[in-house]
Amino acid sequence: MRCLEPAEAAAAFRTSAAAPLLDLASNDYLSLSRHPALVAAAQAAAAGEGVGAGASRLVCGSRPVHAALETALARWLGRERVLLFPSGFQANLAAVAAFADRHSLVLADRHIHQSLLSGVRASGAGLQRFSHNDLADLHRRLQTARQERPSQRLLVLSESLFSMEGTSPDVTALAALCAGHGAALLLDEAHALGVLGPGGRGLGYGLNGEGGQPEIALISGTFGKAFGSGGAFLAGDTLVMEWLLQFSGPFRYTTALAPPLAAGALAALHQIQAEPHGPALLQRAERWRTALEAAGWPRPAGVGPILPLLVGDDHAALALQHRLEAAGLLSVAIRPPTVPEGTARLRLVLRHDLPAGTLGRLLAALGDPPCR
């Protein structure tokens, strides 16, 4: 195997693709954003309800489609209640505020999303970061926190599929650990819903405290990824959701989710229920991981449709991005500060409708792995 020399990597910057690029970068995992059913639902909602809601949910922004989507999601996820938000960022700000204040301690995975960290800062809570998906590290920190301040409110933040790492925690063990220390668990399922878990319901499905199962206090999800639409939601028990309805600024003081987006998300849910493509997508992801490893690249972590191809050097990662563009493929180089120094990568993302032969095109475009 021959490694790329620095001069060869730099040369890739001078190449550009003239034809449209095949998408290996977006989060449209199930290829629903242009699905005829979603487009038709959004068009009908726009024609009947308008493009925007015009006000917050508590003024006059609520539409029947909002209630229909919340009810359908709650039933699908096995949760008592769902509330919609215009964005995932707003949903996560609201979620943290529901469980944390200046007297609380938040323990967050090292690679948690920026929106959750912003929620912690806004809450005034103390913050500790535990090593990525390291339940032993989290256990030590929870144990110490309980010993030092036995009655302090504890909140744990994690994701079921991390967007830049492609990895997932053992969610059942995570929930059990939190329950054992009396800590609430907020799980961000943004990238997992539609793909991971039974019927695409996420890795937190079934962990709602019933039948002796450990509990996840709140689920956060978005419609801008596998659902192919826009907006977000929180799902939990009636008490927490009523608190959000009455006291959450990100819910109360923002214009309601646009009716066409809500209608598109509801249509997407119907499609996911009727044709769950998650298992086939995961099988394809396994084939891609194996092929990349056989070609000499570090095996991308995880099992989901996000395949981080670790390169290390920032310039080499950018060079690979441009090389793929020249071959008609779109994959974005992710560099610091989004990821730690020395871990620049190409973020390869699989979608349901990728044409046959895409993996071969990718391997040919990547060429030899860079020198380390």
Q: What is the pLDDT of residue 370?
A: 67
270 classed as catalytic: no
Q: What is the pLDDT of residue 124?
A: 97
Alpha-carbon span 116 to 95, nearest angstrom: 8
191 classed as catalytic: yes
225 classed as catalytic: yes
Mean of pLDDT over the chain: 92
Task: Look at residue 11 and tell me whether its pLDDT is greater than 70.
Answer: no
Identify the CA nearest to 122 among candidates 102, 107, 108, 105: 102
159 classed as catalytic: yes
- Among candidate residues 70, 165, 188, 189, the one labeled active-site is 188
- Among candidate residues 163, 168, 220, 331, the one labeled active-site is 163
pTM to 2 decimals?
Answer: 0.92
205-261 pLDDT, tens digit each: 999 887 777 799 999 999 999 999 999 999 999 999 999 999 999 999 999 999 999
Percentage of the chain surpassing pLDDT 70?
94
113 classed as catalytic: yes
61-84 pLDDT, tens digit each: 999 999 999 999 999 999 999 999
Identify the CA nearest to 261 among candidates 228, 295, 290, 297: 228
- Among candidate residues 191, 277, 322, 352, the one labeled active-site is 191
- C-alpha distances (whole Å) from 187 to each of 42, 265, 308 are 29, 20, 22
- C-alpha distances (whole Å) from 146 to each of 7, 155, 179 are 55, 12, 13
| Residues shown for the chain | 372
115-146 pLDDT, tens digit each: 999 999 999 999 999 999 999 999 999 999 99
- Among candidate residues 27, 133, 208, 220, the one labeled active-site is 27
- Among candidate residues 225, 277, 322, 352, the one labeled active-site is 225
Task: Look at residue 18 and tell me whether its pLDDT is greater than 90.
Answer: no
Task: Look at residue 17 and tell me whether its pLDDT is greater than 50.
Answer: no
Q: What is the pLDDT of residue 369?
A: 81
Q: What is the pLDDT of residue 82?
A: 98
Q: What is the pLDDT of residue 208?
A: 85
Task: Look at residue 185 and tell me whether its pLDDT is greater than 80.
Answer: yes
